[in-house]
Structure 1
């Protein structure tokens, strides 16, 4: 046992399908760390803004994060001392939508039209903008089109990502509906098409009776599917990775236990994912498909690492990073390899 005793660990996850989210809901995470005398504390639920900010910039020592990959990639590009210890790939609905009457029926019809992408103020990395931009580039590439073939229209938002989660609640809800500003611009006729994804995207598309121009979240080419949520990354800060690998082992133990539980409980898993995402089970089924319970694992296979590298390069090329860095130097295989050896033993 290490002499570096700690009493608490900070953690955070995005409200999307992840094995960490499932492990938290099932009580596996708390149970596993309690056995080591360590309390888990939620970053995103903290009343302290400086702590909540770590959900987006990974500043806290003794912490781990599982979710969308833009914030941790950006944090690494800023010099944050973190380790990428696992990757989960759960495909999800990704689409370009428009409204009836625009005359846009296929991606080719986007040529010369106005495509709306929200832009938030500088500060916290604008991961929603990066996501929409990658979705647009992917869709256009399938028809041999480029970004220059459409007119990208900024939908200016007043609040940063962090600030948007701190205002007064609307109708006693914790968060505002995703894509609300984009949909409003679409309805007002300020833009001709937008990008949406996941359960939130499928919900608003259904709400306004949108026309689906293209859907590519399940496209056979992984480079088309790659985006902020496909795949998602598990990262830990350097202190935790280097000084308490036994606790990283506990984390992995909880995750694989949750993954195995999901495989054996498909209907219950869909229910848990719906609760995590603030969605209905029907929306989860539509957005993630009937096999979501089989896609909550964790690994560092070459194709997963390559996917993160591909998206990192996209973020670099479009100005979302502070500096470039080597993905291979970020990936830390030691913990999964050690866990596998212990599991076999």
Structure 2
């Protein structure tokens, strides 16, 4: 086993127990107790380091957030493992402007639906994949396919990289989504587009949009699965193999959040809102009033089946370079060890 001075972590601006554990200071304290410093990938000034938020290339790193980048990284050969999954459903919808004549999902037939695209991006275009999955789900509910609509690709040259302090963000931590789609909708280039989460709900509210189809809480997991549903906790294999006890401690720390959130629901919502950069009312509206009860770290069969289904969607649409065994990607040992530790 090699000595370890520091580990890298990153999380998406989303409802995750890792984010809450970080804001509570639990993650730093857990590693500092063993003499290991925790370094943030998102806050690094090194672009190569920041790219690991999507590529998972850094050794001794862990991540929780959207599932498309880790699926893509694993498909490309990066040796990682999923050690826990959180399923927190969220608002997902196709929206249009009032007066467009689009009031329900079946009205989308023959219409133009905007899809964001980054044609020059070296990493996976997760925003395009997310939008396409939402569009396909909405159409499937009406017995339609993507061939029944016109997909209008909205190209952008802005990189996906998370850059703190970027002057173009006007003092905010990051660029909020759906800007290209909103401009295209206002300019009459498209008739509708996909939004999700608290940011999507706030945007729909702001423009008085018609919610044409909403399916984020649909009973069929294959309909509602997308980049944010579910969100895996992943680690690189070297970290897991060489420092299993540290990974188990990490999993135990993140898993504790669920019980804490149940006892502190208002604080949990405040932490989630802070992470995303929206109001607390937007979190409750987008994720449900009991969002604090959906922050468990598990590895159940339904989650894994949903992951496998989404992997096949991404393969079909050309987002993954190669197929791989999702079930072989999962390592139950740290969560099982953390559960035994908690029980003792």
TM class by smaller structure: over 0.9
**Separation in structure 2 between the aligned mates of residue 96 and residue 141 of structure 1, nearest angstrom:** 13
**Separation in structure 1 between the aligned mates of residue 18 and residue 335 of structure 2, nearest angstrom:** 15
Which piece of structure 1 moves more, 166-175 or 285-294? 166-175
Indicate yes or no: 2:194 matched with 1:195.
yes
**Separation in structure 2 between the aligned mates of residue 288 and residue 249 of structure 1, nearest angstrom:** 29
1:165-192 deviations in Å (ceiling 9; x for gaps): 7853332222222111111100000000
**Separation in structure 2 between the aligned mates of residue 272 and residue 299 of structure 1, nearest angstrom:** 21
Matching residue of 2:78: 80
Indicate yes or no: 2:251 matched with 1:257.
no
Matching residue of 1:215: 214
Q: Structure 1 residues 34 and 165 mapped into 2: Cα distance closer, same or farther (>3 Å)?
A: closer
Q: Structure 1 residues 63 and 80 mapped into 2: Cα distance closer, same or farther (>3 Å)?
A: same
**Residue 335 of structure 1: how far off its partner (Å):** 1.2
The answer to whether the 8 A contact 1:124-1:160 is kept is no
The answer to whether the 8 A contact 1:139-1:216 is kept is yes
Count of aligned pairs between the two proteins: 343
**Separation in structure 2 between the aligned mates of residue 344 and residue 32 of structure 1, nearest angstrom:** 18
1:68-118 deviations in Å (ceiling 9; x for gaps): 000000000000010111110000000000001110011111100000001
Indicate yes or no: 2:155 matched with 1:156.
yes
The answer to whether the 8 A contact 2:116-2:181 is kept is yes
**Residue 342 of structure 1: how far off its partner (Å):** 2.7
Matching residue of 1:57: 55
1:260-302 deviations in Å (ceiling 9; x for gaps): 1101111111111100111100111111111111111111111
Q: Which runs of 4+ in 1 moved over 6 A?
A: 163-166
The answer to whether the 8 A contact 1:8-1:41 is kept is yes
**Residue 164 of structure 1: how far off its partner (Å):** 7.7
Matching residue of 2:99: 101
Matching residue of 2:14: 16
Runs (5+) with no aligned partner, structure 1: none
The answer to whether the 8 A contact 1:123-1:160 is kept is no
The answer to whether the 8 A contact 1:124-1:162 is kept is no
**Separation in structure 2 between the aligned mates of residue 166 and residue 274 of structure 1, nearest angstrom:** 20
Q: Secondary structure at the match of 2:161?
A: helix
Matching residue of 1:141: 140
TM-score, normalized by length of structure 1? 0.97
1:194-246 deviations in Å (ceiling 9; x for gaps): 00001110111111111110110011111111000000011000111111011
Q: Secondary structure at the match of 2:169?
A: coil
The answer to whether the 8 A contact 2:59-2:238 is kept is yes
**Separation in structure 2 between the aligned mates of residue 170 and residue 315 of structure 1, nearest angstrom:** 30
The answer to whether the 8 A contact 2:163-2:173 is kept is no
Indicate yes or no: 2:5 matched with 1:7.
yes
**Residue 4 of structure 1: how far off its partner (Å):** 2.6
**Separation in structure 2 between the aligned mates of residue 166 and residue 153 of structure 1, nearest angstrom:** 32
Matching residue of 2:234: 235
Indicate yes or no: 2:31 matched with 1:45.
no
Q: Secondary structure at the match of 1:236?
A: strand
The answer to whether the 8 A contact 1:99-1:211 is kept is yes
Q: Structure 1 residues 321 and 166 mapped into 2: Cα distance closer, same or farther (>3 Å)?
A: farther
Matching residue of 1:344: 343
The answer to whether the 8 A contact 1:28-1:258 is kept is no
1:121-153 deviations in Å (ceiling 9; x for gaps): 231111011011000000111110111000000
Matching residue of 2:315: 316
Q: Structure 1 residues 148 and 164 mapped into 2: Cα distance closer, same or farther (>3 Å)?
A: farther
Matching residue of 1:281: 280
Q: Structure 1 residues 166 and 323 mapped into 2: Cα distance closer, same or farther (>3 Å)?
A: farther
Q: CA RMSD in A?
A: 1.3
